[in-house]
Amino acid sequence: MSQNSKIQVLAEISRRVNSIRSFREVLMESLRLSVEALKAERGAVILRGEEGEAEYKVGFGEEEAPSLNVINRVLSTASPILTHDVRADGELSESKSLLVRGIRSILAVPLFVRENLAGLIYLESGTKNLFVAEDLEFLRAFANIIGVALENAEYFEDLERENRRLRDQLGEGDIKIIGRSPLIKRAVELADLYASSRAPLLLTGPSGSGKELLARYIHRRGNYVGRFVPQNCGAIPPELLESELFGYKKGAFTGATADKKGLIEEAKDGVLFLDEIGELPLPLQVKLLRFLQDGEIRRIGDNRVRKIRTRVIAATNRDLEKMVKEGKFREDLYYRISVLRIDLPSLADRKEDIPILTNYLIKKFSRSENKKVRGIEREALDRLIEYDWPGNVRQLENVILRAVISASGEYIKAEDIRFFMETGSGGRRLKTLEDLEKEYVRKVLKLVGGNKTKAAEILGITTRGLQYKLKRWGF
Ligand SMILES: Nc1ncnc2c1ncn2[C@@H]1O[C@H](COP(=O)(O)OP(=O)(O)O)[C@@H](O)[C@H]1O
Ligand SMILES: [Mg+2]
């Protein structure tokens, strides 16, 4: 290998070590580069952990391991080994594992972290006279970089821990999911359980029920190194969505004037929150599925395949199973994203949470709005409890915010909220016929346990007619 290309490999290792935070990834990737650069067949980084050795291997089979003989020799002498031919080496020629596997050349150097012997880097090959003195120098340089990276990794972990501690202390960015109802408790329990998994997760529930909040909660709880990146699949046109998610290479299409990372990459080692996944166009469903299956993406117009660990949390207020039956959502993708699933209840299904939610929101908004509102009068609270909340917690939030802003006294009165609740969005004073129709249909459906045939009978319309309405309202 030429001096120049060696320097290039070292520069590349150094660059990656600085850019990848996940330590295991760094080691594997750099090891792979070194094995390739020195034309070895296999390689390993062995770390002397407190509890036995941590090994990172490239090219070895599941059960295979580097020679113990070599490992012990490097660790006990803290000096490198460069063997041109194992069979001609007095000590190593006795080593069964080397002979059985037909190993002839070995190169191994000690690995130091802050001047302490931390392990070794090991390369081997069945070709004799493969490694030369220069290669030893190369591997030493590699070991130095790894040593510094190890030091940084420890330092980085310390910083992260400190950061988390400070954040907790400040209570800043604290994500609270308010609710005592069994339904919400169950949802939070599942969220805690699923936070540490990296498998895809599906959150279902009506709009405004807290799906995004729960996704953020999971991101906070799951010790992710990467960011939380939200994207609403229904918010932008399909062509744009593809380049948003997957990124593109310069020149891939008119307007692609520079390489661009997609959101999947932006959320590397973190969470990509795909809101309204039901709106994802079919061709993109195929691409997303491929990513979920092998963890690989290709930017548009790019040949390079990138391996990326990003957890996908998808959310929907639509009935995906039904969409699958109608051929609007791919069945394979549906199964893939719904391995883990949390269903969020509508606010109407957990009315017992309305009082604490209301109090929580009053506190929150009187602080942010600099008002001295301390609570709510009983009559006003009763009205909140009676109401149906088609917009769920988001709507309750809006109502409380307006009430806090417009409240004249310390306690919110019925008259402070009446106006906003009747109009939902605060624009119109009275409900439309369709609003009433929706409310009534919802009530009847609940009464008959969701049975659409029965509900249609009671409502005096055909089942198809009812289905049409439900679809239009997104029930
Ligand atoms: N259980 C809850 N406790 C506190 N705030 C909530 C809760 N559920 C929802 N919210 C708030 O209601 C609003 C709507 O929630 P969001 O997560 O955006 O709903 P969705 O994604 O289901 O449409 C957000 O401002 C969110 O913080
Ligand atoms: Mg939402």
CATH no. of 3-158: 3.30.450.40
Q: Which CATH architecture has domain 182-343?
A: 3-Layer(aba) Sandwich (3.40)
C-alpha of residue 376 to centroid of ligand 1, in Å: 21
C-alpha of residue 340 to centroid of ligand 1, in Å: 20
C-alpha of residue 178 to centroid of ligand 1, in Å: 9
pLDDT at 337 over 70: yes
Taking CB atoms and a 6 Å cutoff, what residues make up the pocket around ligand 1? 177-179, 205, 207-213, 315, 393-394, 397
pLDDT at 401 over 80: yes
pLDDT at 427 over 50: no
pLDDT band at 352 (very low <50, low <70, confident <90, very high): very high
Determine the residue type at 83. Answer: T
pLDDT band at 425 (very low <50, low <70, confident <90, very high): very low
Atom of ligand 1 nearest to the CA of 315: 21
pLDDT at 329 over 50: yes
pLDDT at 392 over 50: yes
The per-residue pLDDT for range 430-444, each reduced to its tens digit, is 566 777 888 889 889
Taking domain 434-473, whether its CATH number is 1.10.10 is answered by yes
C-alpha of residue 436 to centroid of ligand 2, in Å: 24
Best probe residue, ligand 1, of 175, 180, 393 (max atoms within 8 Å of C-beta) = 393
CATH no. of 347-423: 1.10.8.60
pLDDT band at 470 (very low <50, low <70, confident <90, very high): confident
pLDDT band at 283 (very low <50, low <70, confident <90, very high): very high
Atom of ligand 1 nearest to the CA of 216: 17
Average pLDDT for 168-172: 54
Domain ranges of the chain: 3-158, 182-343, 347-423, 434-473
pLDDT at 424 over 50: no
Atom of ligand 1 nearest to the CA of 360: 4
The per-residue pLDDT for range 231-251, each reduced to its tens digit, is 999 888 888 899 999 999 999
pLDDT at 100 over 80: yes
pLDDT at 33 over 90: no
pLDDT band at 159 (very low <50, low <70, confident <90, very high): low
C-alpha of residue 76 to centroid of ligand 2, in Å: 59
pLDDT at 428 over 70: no
**pLDDT for the residue 429:** 45
pLDDT at 19 over 70: no
Indicate which ligand has the atom closest to the C-alpha of 203: 1
Most confident residue range from 4-8, 171-175, 466-470? 466-470
The per-residue pLDDT for range 103-153, each reduced to its tens digit, is 999 999 999 988 888 899 999 999 999 999 999 999 999 899 888 877 777
Nearest 5°: CA angle at 210, between 432 and 200?
Answer: 130
